[in-house]
Amino acid sequence: MQIDNWGDKILNGDRRALARAITLVESNRADHRVQAMELLDYLRRAKRQAIRIGLSGTPGVGKSTFIEAFGMMLTGQGLRVAVLAVDPSSARTGGSILGDKTRMERLSRDKNAFIRPSPSQTHLGGVARRSREAVTLCEAAGFDVILIETVGVGQSETVVAEMSDLFVLLLAPAGGDELQGVKRGIMEMADLILVNKADGDLKPTATRTCADYGGALRLLRKRPQDPEGFPKAMMVSAYEGTGLADSWTQMQALVEWRRDNGHWDRRRAQQALYWFDQEVRQALLARLESPQARAAMAALSDRVAAGEITPAGAAAEMLETHLGG
């Protein structure tokens, strides 16, 4: 397909064209990569922006139920919602946290919703680039809200935060004052903490958990991108549907404040620079993956292992002779 043609279809909200484009950016083939870059460049000119919400929560907090309920509420308001996943662990297991659309049965049938599982890749860097570009494609396709889901595994939260406008941490009610082992670094990324399952017997525990996290958030260093009262902790029940509208109101208020105060644009620009830097580094290191480079590394490795050359000497030879000085 012609890039212009394809791009126009995406801009017109054609779901098949969008799905194919996401498959394109997920591909490792060099010719696909060239096409993907042309397509992304074409779409860039439309300058469309969605509200990108990063959502982290470990298994068991009710993430699928939350996304389904929250997504249905948004589409009920006439908004178009895309759901993407960043799951570095899927590379290992072969599965995917969003592989099974039955997890969000109603939302996946909603014509104003678009659900896409995590690309399976061998490393987080690969997942990250593909996910970020999928977000860009969904923005071009005119989605109003993009939910970027991740499980709390290793660096995946950082990666998701770097492609989101807001970062939401979904937690389950829990006793004890250990704050459920949420790492300080994750807490510091959160704009909103939602304590899910605030219903039935768990309501008192949820109330206490919410108060605990609210207190913990107030102890963190004030960030310039936060208006009065943020970051904050709230209770929701995805199951009963309570608190969802309120949490969306809070998100919108935060977005509006950040837009008015220049933080929105500044963050978008910073994120673009972050990804530019990451792409350059990954592309440089990818030079080690060519068949020629692998063969040269293997030959030098034999000499290093045999003690015939120092690691530093072998590295210098590799760089000079096989990686263009």
Position 309 contacts its own copies (CB under 8 A): yes
Q: Which stretch binds its own copies (CB under 8 A): 65-73, 153-161, 209-217, 309-317?
A: 309-317
Residue 202 beta carbon to its own copies: minimum distance, rounded to whole angstroms: 28
Which CB sits closer to its own copies, 201 or 289?
289
Q: Counting contacts by CB under 8 A, is residue 37 touching its own copies?
A: yes
In 4-144 the beta strands, taken as DSSP E runs, fall at: 51-56, 81-86, 113-116
Tell me how far apart the alpha carbons of residues 143 and 152 are, in angstroms, rounded to a whole number: 25
Alpha-carbon distance 268 to 249, whole Å?
A: 22
**Closest distance of CB 167 from its own copies, Å:** 20
Q: Does residue number 185 form part of the binding site for its own copies (CB under 8 A)?
A: no
Q: How many CB atoms lie within 10 A of CB 208?
A: 16
Exactly one of 220, 253, 273, 299 binds its own copies (CB under 8 A); that residue is: 273
Does residue number 299 form part of the binding site for its own copies (CB under 8 A)? Answer: no
Distances (CA, A) of 51 to 30, 144, 219, 318: 31, 6, 28, 45
183 binds its own copies (CB under 8 A): no
Min. distance of Cβ 35 from its own copies in angstroms? 12
| Residue indicated by tokens 């397909």 | 1
Return d(Cα 3, Cα 5) in angstroms, integer: 5
Is residue 323 a contact point for its own copies (CB under 8 A)? Answer: yes
Burial 251-290 (b: 16+ CB within 10 A, else e): beebbebbeeeebbeeeeeebeeebeebeeeeeeeeeeee
One residue of 155, 290, 301, 321 binding its own copies per CB under 8 A: 301
Q: Which of 87, 133, 139, 162 is the binder for its own copies (CB under 8 A)?
A: 133
Among 73, 153, 187, 297, binds its own copies (CB under 8 A): 297
Nearest to its own copies of 138, 314 (CB atom): 314
Q: Based on the shown chain and the rule CB under 8 A, indicate whether residue 269 belongs to the binding site for its own copies.
A: yes
Nearer to its own copies, 33 or 218 (CB): 33
> Using an 8 Å Cβ cutoff, are 227 and 197 in contact?
no
Contact map string, positions 84 to 123, toward its own copies, x by CB under 8 A: ----------------------------------------
Listed ranges 10-18, 58-66, 75-83, 265-273: which one lies at the site for its own copies (CB under 8 A): 265-273
| Helix/strand number for the chain, H first, E second | 14, 7
DSSP state for residue 118 in the 8-state scheme: P
In the chain, where do the E strands start and end? 51-56, 81-86, 113-116, 145-150, 166-171, 192-195, 232-235
Confirm or reject binding of residue 28 to its own copies (CB under 8 A). no
Decide if 115 contacts 98 (C-beta within 8 A): yes
> Site residues (CB under 8 A) for its own copies?
36-37, 40-41, 44, 47, 129, 133, 136, 269-270, 272-273, 275-281, 283-285, 287-288, 297, 300-301, 304-307, 309-316, 318-319, 323-325
